[in-house]
Structure 1
Amino acid sequence: MRLPRRSELSEQQEDFLMEAPLDKPVLCVGPPGTGKTVLALYRAVVLNQKHNKVDLIMHSKLLNRYVERSVEELNLSVDSRTWHSWIYHLWAKGNGRYKIPQIEDWLPDFSKAVSIIKEGKPRNPQKMYWDHLIIDEGQDFPKEFYLFLTVLRHEQSVLKGRRPPSLTIFADDNQRMEERRNSTINQIQSNVPEATKYEITVNYRNSGPIAKLANYFYVGMSTGKPNIPKNAKGLMPQLRRFKTLDDEVSSVVNWLNNNDDLSAGIIVPDRQVQNKVVKAIKPLAEKRGFKVQKYASGNDASMIDFYTGGTITVVCDKSCKGLEFNAVFIPQIQAYKTDGANEDFFKMKMYVMISRARTYLQLSFSECEEAPQVVKMLPPEEYEVLQWKI
């Protein structure tokens, strides 16, 4: 990610860093592109300067990898990890070999965990204390997780005379990519009732045309749509039809050939499409000297390179939150299902995927005798937010 200097932050962003209390729960909400991850990092800077120990957690291994370089640039002293790693580590410190109860693999049963704490069963509850926890993409966490944190913040066996540990949550209702295991802003507030709420509203990531297209897929969540800076110019996003998949992926390689110092992201619906796209694009890209890399949930994210120009990164839609690329390509859109039962979640996925692109965006399909059903979910050409080339 391109980390702006502190002097480049907006007045609204700077107000948050100056005003948000450091010793109480804080909830910062904002739509895609408004700088939540940037503020999470600079809040960690402020806390470090006050000699606070900071834990920075997020849902995705890939996002954690994505912010590593920024953590180094800022010379931050933070423990940055996924939320699974953090919660299982925290529980182990207080409970030894007694594992946290689970509803299923990698989904703790926080209600039972709270009961265990209330019953005084942990052997070393004082070790389940943290100093300051920063949560990025907080909508990705189960609502019960926040109740669990609130209980720990006030449990005397944990505190042992210390002040309640602090908590900062960054979240966006618009970016819930799954129908399970997530929280709305209202649910977070209900389970962290002491939290002071702040809002950031201006989209600084996307060009104006890309931001307008993303806003088309807004489904009315409480975070709202971001404001678009008046000078945010750029190319209109495109919808393209290709004869074959090879033609489709060639368009990515051709764009990168003309912009080889930049990055390109390809976002796909699932691993099956991911493998098909990687198989098609890899020989074409490597012939031009470009690198192709892919990531899927559960893979090792440490090898993913977000900083070398001429790199094509292929990710599934569930892994793309928090990321950004100079150009984003969303191929094989015919693979998306848009029946009435999941139309809102399709729109939310489109909102998130589109807003990963800084300056160039292309949606496409191939090997279809007629336009796929999903095209009906896209804005008509007369809306002038998407250029139709089909």
Structure 2
Amino acid sequence: MTLTFLDLAPAQQDLLESLAPDSNHLVSGQPGTGKSVLAMHRAALLDLMGHSTVLLARSNLLRQQLAADAVAVGSSVPVLTFHRWVINWYQRATGTAPGRTEDGLFDWLELMSAAMSVGLGQLEQLVVDEGQDLPQQFYQLCRVLGIRMTVFADEQQRITDTQSTLAEIEKAMGSTTRHEITVNQRNSRPVAVLAGHFHVDGDPPLLPDRDGPVPQLLRHTGGRQPLAGWLSAYATAYPRRSIGVILRHTRAQTELFAEVSRPPHDLQAQMYIGNAPEGPYRTLTPGKKGISIINRASVKGLEFDTVIVPDTHIDSGDPTAAELRMLYYVMTTRARQELYFCYSGDREPPILADVPARMLRRSMM
């Protein structure tokens, strides 16, 4: 549900009102503190004050969510991926497309050279959501261009291949005011407790007061049909819930989508595939009730009433590895109310085997 400014919590309103319009700001907060909503409102407020403003996200799926939220509150602020913004800026500055390295990334040396040639200009202000997912070079580029930025970030959610810590973002931006928001507005207390188990370093997140069921670890026999049957029964029992099904591999997404879409289930599920060509699988209706099948790589910034992760048995890596723990931290905190981790086989996945029963109940699917 999209919130107007007056619907925001007092701490969220106070934060927005404390952000000077002509300064750089770095706002940190745990999942569920409303960073995406605040980013959208920050951009809308800057626009109302007469500042040309663009709202940025790394992923196309989060861009869609932010754009829908902006429209819902009557804002006309453009919402772009940071890739698109960089391409647009470079084409305006040089008349050509930016170069790429052999691995497909931006040639930041070329971009920086162009920025120094252009010099300071009257460019728009930028508001960035999930700023930890963007590379340091992007912030350095904006600093050279003299662009004012407001960045919302959480370094506990650094699970992309182009990521930055809060300290790196602050250093790259230059003169920056730091802010923090701490109140979890999204998760139930049991979900937040489990998320704290995966927290990597620093202070654990503050726990919300709202109660809910303890997350569950479900063992299943494997295969698409039993899982599809269970999902169908769950979606039928709770037709008014948004249900996010998070999978690691695109093939598993498409196979499960096909299974739940055919008889006897006939579910009106939606699916998002980040590397799909333009079409039905490159868009997702934000807040839609029923099942949404999403890749792990695209889930950042989203939230659902219920989250189901069917394939935890493939996570056999070191359970103490920061990257894996951050991934589970992100997936856990997508759930507003209910959370189900699922696996097949005789042994619980190492990342979940040491979670106490008070945090994660075990049962069969």
User: How far, CA to CA, are the matches of 2:283 and 2:257 in structure 1?
Assistant: 17
Structure 1 stretches lacking a partner, 5+ long: 154-164
User: How far, CA to CA, are the matches of 2:354 and 2:164 in structure 1?
Assistant: 32
1:139 aligns with 2:132: yes
Alignment correspondent of 1:96: 95
Cα drift, residue 141 of structure 1:
0.7
1:362-385 deviations in Å (ceiling 9; x for gaps): 11123x2x125x2x3216464511
Cα drift, residue 343 of structure 1:
2.2
Alignment correspondent of 1:158: none
1:347-375 deviations in Å (ceiling 9; x for gaps): 11100011111111111123x2x125x2x
Q: For 1:386, which of 354, 360, 363 is the aligned residue?
A: 360
Alignment correspondent of 2:247: 268
Alignment correspondent of 2:338: 360
Where do residues 1-390 of structure 1 align in structure 2 (5 Å cutoff)?
A: 2-97=1-96, 99-104=97-102, 106-118=104-116, 120=117, 129-153=122-146, 165-178=147-160, 180-220=161-201, 224-230=203-209, 232-245=210-223, 246-283=225-262, 287-288=264-265, 290-299=267-276, 300=278, 303-309=283-289, 311-339=290-318, 343-366=321-344, 368=345, 370-372=346-348, 374=349, 376-378=350-352, 380=354, 382-390=356-364
Contact 1:381 1:388 in 2 (8 A): no
Paired residue secondary structure (1:205): coil
User: How far, CA to CA, are the matches of 2:283 and 2:55 in structure 1?
Assistant: 21
Query: What is the percentage of aligned positions where both structures have the same residue?
Result: 28
Alignment correspondent of 1:161: none
* Counterpart code for 2:30: P
Contact 2:229 2:265 in 1 (8 A): no
Cα drift, residue 289 of structure 1:
5.1
The alignment of Structure 1 onto Structure 2 pairs a total of residues equal to 360
Cα drift, residue 282 of structure 1:
2.6
User: CA 1:330/1:194 → structure 2, altered by over 3 Å: closer, same or farther?
Assistant: same
User: How far, CA to CA, are the matches of 1:265 and 1:317 in structure 2?
Assistant: 11
Cα drift, residue 288 of structure 1:
4.8
1:95-152 deviations in Å (ceiling 9; x for gaps): 002x32322465212233223433x3x5xx67x6422111111111111111111011
User: How far, CA to CA, are the matches of 1:276 and 1:181 in structure 2?
Assistant: 29
User: CA 1:70/1:381 → structure 2, altered by over 3 Å: closer, same or farther?
Assistant: closer
Root-mean-square deviation (CA), in Å? Answer: 2.0
1:235-288 deviations in Å (ceiling 9; x for gaps): 11100111233222322221211111221110011213223322333325xx45
Paired residue secondary structure (2:3): coil
Paired residue secondary structure (1:89): helix
1:299-318 deviations in Å (ceiling 9; x for gaps): 34664223332x31111111
Paired residue secondary structure (1:314): strand
1:313-363 deviations in Å (ceiling 9; x for gaps): 1111110000011111000211223137x8221111100011111111111
TM-score under structure 2 normalisation?
Answer: 0.92
User: How far, CA to CA, are the matches of 2:177 and 2:228 in structure 1?
Assistant: 46
* Counterpart code for 2:347: A
TM-score under structure 1 normalisation?
Answer: 0.86
